[in-house]
Structure 1
């Protein structure tokens, strides 16, 4: 076989999918929106009346990435973490769009449907980019924006813009 020949595939082997882990005190629920289903992880806040927070994971991650942080902030915020479409336990979006804009739309749609805004929006990596887009498009849904190693382009300051 030459380097340009493709190997013959006799049967597709699907990866083993493990059960989604749910830490003690957490619960998972499915949120169905038109063309979209999201899995949302939450834990009860330590007391009533805390401001809402939404955690958004990074590329290849899931809401489970926030399981260690959520209990540490349970006395400060009423936190939820979502699985972006096609990640974690959320099925792929019906339209197959995995762009940052599509993920931001999914977060906005979830916040609108849940009526939890404005939230403390916390994003990591890809989730930081998505959260930035959400804050720019719908500042009315965001109380504060916290970015942890966000996947944002490095923009150098143009010399002509500096007086």
Structure 2
């Protein structure tokens, strides 16, 4: 439930377009597969992040997937939704509406942090849209928040965000980016100078958006509200309903989603594989994209073997 580090610039081989749907405008970053006919994938970022959070992983998997990543409404280059609804349910509806409109489903669906909560809901209510589910530090409800996650949670308190904005108005984008890397990475030194510079420029641009802090506050409230839902709307209850083969990736040094929740997640998703990356933080797909790519390839191999066994004639 944290701001993911934003690297917004287009990298070589990427395309970007704007998609208008009723009530929302999305920005879609695409990394075409290296050959025609590769299966489609959709990547969903976390709180404060953008589609560019997935650029390293999308590049590594371009031989296996035709990848697209969304800027959710209010993040990246996408304006806020017309109705001002930043709940997890509203974001999940946006993802579903995009997949229905694009006709790309079923997709290999990825989500990080808040994006992990969003795509869990998508996979539960629309299994026809999902081939596999990959969750990197998914923001699923925990009995106790980590102390390092409390400042982010406090953004939901009325008046807290304007106060924070005033208290930090003299911070430079470089200072803000360094603080964010220290929070999101297990080892901030793994960000290259080019990545750090791109993140600074993205932070500088985001601070010029008049809705920046309001969207953050509303999204934090939306996530915390989702944590309080019970019954069939509970995120853990919906995780139980996910049919797609699921890869769970956690970082051992994640300061925002405790690795202690990994065991519960592994037991809850019915067809799951768990990978804990030693030394990684909250955004493993950025900090160690090679390891995440290897884990996803293993998931693909496992699901292919399962499909072959299912298709084999039985004596």
- What is the Cα deviation at residue 21 of structure 1? 1.3
With normalisation by structure 2, the TM-score equals: 0.43
Find the counterpart in structure 1 of residue 79 from structure 2: 91
Q: Report the 3-state secondary structure (helix = DSSP H, G, I; strand = E; otherwise coil) of the residue aligned with 2:47.
A: coil
Query: How many correspondences in the alignment?
Result: 139
Find the counterpart in structure 1 of residue 285 from structure 2: none
- What is the Cα deviation at residue 90 of structure 1? 0.7
Select which of 132, 138, 144 maps to 1:144. 132
Find the counterpart in structure 2 of residue 101 from structure 1: 89
C-alpha separation in 1, matches of 2:129 and 2:56 = 25
Greater fraction helix: 2
1:99-138 pair list within 5 angstroms: 99-138=87-126
C-alpha separation in 1, matches of 2:66 and 2:103 = 13
- What is the Cα deviation at residue 135 of structure 1? 0.4
RMSD of aligned Cα (Å): 1.7
With normalisation by structure 1, the TM-score equals: 0.82
Tell me, yes or no, if structure 1 residue 31 matches structure 2 residue 19.
yes
Q: Report the 3-state secondary structure (helix = DSSP H, G, I; strand = E; otherwise coil) of the residue aligned with 1:153.
A: coil
- What is the Cα deviation at residue 63 of structure 1? 0.1
Greater fraction strand: 1
C-alpha separation in 2, matches of 1:150 and 1:51 = 23
Find the counterpart in structure 2 of residue 77 from structure 1: 65
C-alpha separation in 2, matches of 1:84 and 1:105 = 11
Q: What stretches of structure 1 of length at least 5 have no aligned partner?
A: 1-19, 158-163
C-alpha separation in 1, matches of 2:104 and 2:73 = 20
Q: Report the 3-state secondary structure (helix = DSSP H, G, I; strand = E; otherwise coil) of the residue aligned with 1:140.
A: helix
Q: What stretches of structure 2 of length at least 5 have no aligned partner?
A: 1-7, 143-235, 237-260, 265-315
- What is the Cα deviation at residue 25 of structure 1? 1.2
Tell me, yes or no, if structure 1 residue 57 matches structure 2 residue 45.
yes
C-alpha separation in 1, matches of 2:62 and 2:52 = 16
- What is the Cα deviation at residue 126 of structure 1? 0.4
Q: Report the 3-state secondary structure (helix = DSSP H, G, I; strand = E; otherwise coil) of the residue aligned with 2:96.
A: helix
Tell me, yes or no, if structure 1 residue 48 matches structure 2 residue 32.
no
C-alpha separation in 2, matches of 1:67 and 1:77 = 13
